[in-house]
Structure 1
Amino acid sequence: MRLYILGTELKKARNALKEDRQALLKSDPSIETPADIRFHAGYRSLRLYRYAHAFYVAGFRNVSAFIHFISRVLYAVDIHPAAEIEPGVVVDHGMGVVIGSTAKVGSGTVIYHGVTLGAKNITTGKRHPQVGKNVFIGAGATLLGAINVGDGARIGAGSVVVEDVPPYSTVVGVPAKVVKQDCVKEVVA
């Protein structure tokens, strides 16, 4: 049964990687050809996460932990295999990204280097951010706790977010405050 689940999860991972690849090609002008993706650290770390997640869901926790370890060593990216990342997410640059075990990230989201989706304290249950679709998270941003980040939101570089972020709004600062709301046209464009 676990092998059947693994096969299903690996197929999901491969399909998700296709969407991740397309999202990266669309969002990163430095990638001139699809072949350039082979050496993109953010994509490669996301690829390792997808396989670690498949093994995690199928119950092969030791294999999952080993793949997770490889991602941390090679790319300095720590995405827990239990985290839920929808297809079509971009991890740009990658270095220093940390995503906790109960975090969720929606499709179309772009995550820059040095971003943390972490917990405020050690507890059971949901303790990491739930990030909506098409969210931009700038370099060095820290999102802590079981907060919700609405679809289309923008998190400024270096911001520390400890409260919910409304959809289609921009937050910046330490602690992060809303500086712009209802930026639907800008996000969609």
Structure 2
Amino acid sequence: MGVLINPHVSIGENTKIGNNCSIVGQGPYKNAPIIGNHVYIGPGAVIQGPVVIDDNVIIAPNCVVTKSVPQYAIVAGVPAKIIGDVRKLDYDIFKNESWNDNIHLYLENQEIH
């Protein structure tokens, strides 16, 4: 239940990273991802390559991100695709105190497009 993070990854402030995530580059010393501020990375997600995850993004559990993600996007799937906009949610993931809030269950039950 660990997390694998390339040592060259840049991670912004107030970012939540779930269990079993991998955030890796295309090699041990190059093309590491850049993660912005206020990003939620769901359990089991993979972020790979020279991608930029902008601020205020939700990455759903178990998705695979291989392309950059714009600000306020909600992404899910393999490969990850934009499925919604964080600003349209009536749920603030950063006010929740634990992973027991199950954001993935919340997203499944919302009209987020």
- Bin for the TM-score computed over the shorter chain: 0.7 to 0.9
Structure 2 regions of 5+ residues with no counterpart? 96-113
* Equivalent position amino acid for 1:150 in 2: D
Identity of aligned pairs, percent?
Answer: 32
When the two structures are aligned, how many residues end up with a matched partner?
A: 92
- Given candidates 53, 62, 69, the residue that maps to 1:165 is 69
Contact 2:6 2:28 survives alignment (8 Å): no
> Considering only CA atoms, is the larger Rg found in Structure 1 or Structure 2?
1
RMSD (Å), alpha carbons: 1.8
| Inter-partner Cα distance in structure 2 for 1:106 and 1:151 | 8
| Inter-partner Cα distance in structure 2 for 1:152 and 1:161 | 16
Contact 2:2 2:19 survives alignment (8 Å): yes
- Given candidates 100, 122, 140, the residue that maps to 2:27 is 122
CA deviations over 1:46-92 (Å, ceiling 9, x no partner): xxxxxxxxxxxxxxxxxxxxxxxxxxxxxxxxxxxxxxxxxxxxxxx
- TM-score between both structures, scaled by the size of structure 2: 0.74
**Shift of the alpha carbon at 1:185?**
6.1
How do 1:174-189 residues align onto structure 2 when only pairs under 5 Å count?
174-181=78-85, 183-184=86-87, 186=89, 187=92
- TM-score between both structures, scaled by the size of structure 1: 0.45
- Given candidates 36, 44, 63, the residue that maps to 1:140 is 44
| Inter-partner Cα distance in structure 1 for 2:15 and 2:88 | 16
| Inter-partner Cα distance in structure 2 for 1:104 and 1:152 | 15
Q: Residue 99 of structure 1 aligns with which residue?
A: 5
**Shift of the alpha carbon at 1:101?**
1.7
Structure 1 regions of 5+ residues with no counterpart? 1-94
Question: Which structure's residues are more often strand, by fraction?
Answer: 2
Matched, 1:110 2:13: no
Question: Which structure's residues are more often helix, by fraction?
Answer: 1
Contact 2:24 2:32 survives alignment (8 Å): yes
Q: Residue 88 of structure 1 aligns with which residue?
A: none
How do 1:1-189 residues align onto structure 2 when only pairs under 5 Å count?
95-119=1-25, 121-122=26-27, 124-125=29-30, 127-181=31-85, 183-184=86-87, 186=89, 187=92
